[in-house]
Amino acid sequence: MSDPVQLHTARPAPDCVVLSVLGEIDLVTAPDLEAAVVEHLEGTACLVLDLTGISFFGSLGLATLIHTTSLAEARGVRLALVAGRLVTRTMELTRTTELFDVYGSVTDAIGPV
């Protein structure tokens, strides 16, 4: 059984929220991640997902990111990802990297705002 995913929120710039994700994204925790993303899409122009603290990321995590990207686009919110090794590897293996705006650091992701 998975441990609950840890989600930490910061507002380092006006109209920009950084949601840091720690732990495993799987069948049990993916709904928590999606709910947090949906919550933070309200009232911001930019949402940065810091995924560097993820310890497990598979197809369900990827599906969650694809869905949340669509939700952000529909609301006019720029969604930027800071992907760690596991997330990047999954995106590369599934050839989905081009579906996301991926940055090397939170600072880089916030920069274009």
SS3 of the chain: the string is CCCCCEEEEEEEECCEEEEEEEEEECCCCHHHHHHHHHHHHCCCCEEEEEEEEEEEECHHHHHHHHHHHHHHHHHCCEEEEEECHHHHHHHHHHCCHHHCCEECCHHHHHCCC
pLDDT per residue over 39-84, tens digit each? 999 889 999 999 999 999 988 999 999 999 999 999 999 999 999 8
- Whether 60 is covered by a domain: the verdict is yes
Given a cut of 80, is residue 113 above it in pLDDT? no
Q: What is the pLDDT of residue 5?
A: 85
- Whether 1 is covered by a domain: the verdict is no
Given a cut of 90, is residue 13 above it in pLDDT? no
pLDDT per residue over 88-108, tens digit each? 999 999 999 999 999 999 999
- Whether 72 is covered by a domain: the verdict is yes
Number of domains into which the chain is organized: 1
CATH of the domain at 103: 3.30.750.24
Domain with 100 in it: 6-22+29-110
- Whether 68 is covered by a domain: the verdict is yes
